[in-house]
């Protein structure tokens, strides 16, 4: 009776647990947390000292007794304990700011395609450990399709591509389900690595991850534009060991990014090749939809469209498609039931090692 009473007041929470960013929404309120998925740990005391944006500020500037932990790897929990603590930190923040009671909320969380039962259970356990009362799992790509307003319920195919930090998911969706898909461990973070490698190979310059990312965001592109843009790139000269700055232009950055861009395009083509012809016809008519924050790479839509010979559009506010889809599911129990993944908790044979 008391539990029922509490449930009535308990708001549902949605989580997009991304490799780069964790975004959390609550019922009737929308997005309340959007922070980098990174945690700073004091090794001497074995204590978390900063989470999210605060921890990100320390990247590349931390003394050896502070470790920066990225608890997700390619969309999957790689450090269970840190993930649980990070979620608990965010939940506590939400509770303090939004609720004045302590009912354990129901939580809807997105999971990548092709996760194992153990990986699925780790997500459920981390959310429960952080304070959830019940956990509902949905595929991130389905949530993203809902967020991008694709007609997932009909018997007609849509292709959605989520370009994230740790992974790219390519899926053809029809009748509430993924018909065909491919996951690539190449996405935004690999693009940063491409720029670091390019600077090393071409200029003997060692640059940090944050600098590589800011260059990508400022002048990175996948399709040539008429106007040249440049940006300064600062780092350490690998030969002299001294600080060095060079000016890099958009065509050099495009060249640097090309291994990732080519891999993504090849994967899209291979999914199209495997897709039944009727669905390809639908996709051609509707166009491929790109989402995920890395879909903001300038010209990626044009490049994919040129190479795959299919119209392409970028979803509105691509970085929040997944969480907006989850937010939609919070209020639509019927749709949630259609896209819900079976819980790993139902399978008594699976035991996860923490
Ligand atoms: N304007 C931009 N141009 C290009 N890339 C961008 C831009 N803004 C963000 N990114 C990149 O997008 C990536 C993060 O995407 P997103 O937030 O969708 O990932 P995620 O959901 O945390 O990760 P994943 O879905 O892979 O688990 C980062 O690599 C970031 O550098
Ligand atoms: Mg994501």
The pLDDT of residue 2 is 52
d(C-alpha 254, C-alpha 219), whole Å: 9
Could you give the C-alpha distances from 261 to 168, 191, 306, in angstroms and in order? 11, 8, 13
> Tokens in use for 325?
């889809």
Alpha helices in 148-249 (DSSP H): 188-203, 209-219
CA of 91 to the centre of ligand 2 (A): 19
Question: Where does residue 52 fall: left (phi above 0), alpha (psi -120 to 50 degrees), or beta otherwise?
Answer: left
Q: Is 163 helix (H, G, I), strand (E, B) or coil?
A: strand
CA of 137 to the centre of ligand 2 (A): 14
Q: Is 91 helix (H, G, I), strand (E, B) or coil?
A: helix
pLDDT 10s digits, 220-234: 999 999 999 999 999
d(C-alpha 125, C-alpha 289), whole Å: 32
The pLDDT of residue 347 is 55
CA of 238 to the centre of ligand 2 (A): 34
φ, ψ at 60 (rounded to 5°): 80, 0
Could you say which DSSP state residue 241 is in? Answer: -
Q: Which positions ≥6 away from 240 have C-beta within 8 Å?
A: none
Q: Is 34 helix (H, G, I), strand (E, B) or coil?
A: strand
> Tokens in use for 167?
């992974």
**Closest residue to atom 14 of ligand 1, CA basis:** 165
Q: Which positions ≥6 away from 242 have C-beta within 8 Å?
A: 236
> Tokens in use for 239?
């030969």
pLDDT 10s digits, 158-200: 999 999 999 999 999 999 999 999 999 999 999 999 999 999 9
Low-confidence residues of the chain: pLDDT under 50: 1, 5-6, 348-354
pTM score of the predicted model: 0.93
> Tokens in use for 242?
């001294």
Pocket of ligand 1 (CB under 6 A): 18-21, 75, 164-167, 187-189, 213, 216-217, 220, 292-294, 296-297, 319
> Tokens in use for 180?
């065909």
The pLDDT of residue 354 is 36
Please provide the distance, in angstroms rounded to a whole number, between the alpha carbons at the two ends of the chain.
34
23 beta partners: 16, 34
Nearest ligand for residue 37 CA:
1
Which of 192, 209, 205 has its CA nearest to residue 247?
A: 205
Counting ligand 1 atoms within 8 A of each CB, the residue from 21, 86, 264, 294 with the most, and so the one to mutate, is: 294
Could you give the C-alpha distances from 286 to 257, 280, 295, in angstroms and in order? 28, 10, 18
Which of 134, 140, 86 has its CA nearest to residue 111?
A: 140
d(C-alpha 283, C-alpha 195), whole Å: 33
């Amino acid at each position: 009776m008391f539990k029922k009473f509490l449930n009535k007041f308990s708001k549902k929470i949605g989580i997009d647990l991304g490799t780069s960013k964790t975004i959390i929404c609550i019922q009737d309120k929308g997005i309340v947390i959007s922070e980098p998925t990174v945690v700073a740990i004091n090794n001497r005391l074995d204590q978390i000292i900063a989470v999210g944006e605060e921890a990100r500020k320390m990247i590349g500037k931390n003394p050896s007794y502070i470790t920066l932990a990225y608890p997700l790897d390619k969309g999957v929990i790689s450090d269970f304990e840190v993930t649980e603590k990070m979620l608990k930190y965010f939940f506590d923040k939400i509770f303090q700011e939004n609720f004045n009671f302590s009912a354990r909320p129901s939580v809807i969380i997105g999971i990548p395609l092709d996760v194992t039962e153990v990986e699925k259970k780790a997500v459920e356990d981390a959310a429960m450990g952080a304070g959830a009362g019940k956990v509902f799992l949905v595929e991130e790509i389905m949530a993203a399709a809902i967020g991008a307003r694709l007609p997932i319920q009909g018997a007609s195919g849509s292709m959605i591509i989520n370009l994230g930090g740790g992974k790219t998911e390519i899926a053809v969706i029809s009748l509430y389900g993924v018909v065909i898909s491919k996951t690539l461990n190449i996405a935004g973070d690999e693009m940063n690595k491409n720029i670091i490698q390019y600077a090393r190979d071409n200029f003997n310059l060692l640059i940090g991850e944050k600098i590589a990312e800011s260059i990508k965001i400022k002048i990175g592109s996948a399709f040539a534009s008429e106007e040249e843009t440049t940006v300064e790139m600062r780092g350490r000269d690998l030969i002299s060991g001294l600080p060095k700055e060079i000016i890099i232009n958009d065509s050099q950055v495009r060249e640097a990014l090309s291994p990732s861009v080519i891999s993504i395009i090849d994967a899209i083509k291979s999914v199209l090749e495997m897709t039944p012809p009727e669905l390809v016809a639908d996709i051609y008519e509707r166009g491929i939809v790109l989402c995920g924050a890395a879909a903001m790479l300038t010209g990626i839509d044009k490049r994919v469209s040129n190479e795959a010979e299919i119209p392409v559009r970028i979803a509105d506010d691509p970085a929040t498609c997944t969480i907006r889809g989850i937010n939609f599911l919070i209020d639509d129990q019927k749709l949630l039931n259609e896209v819900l993944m079976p819980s790993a908790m139902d399978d008594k044979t699976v035991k996860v090692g923490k």
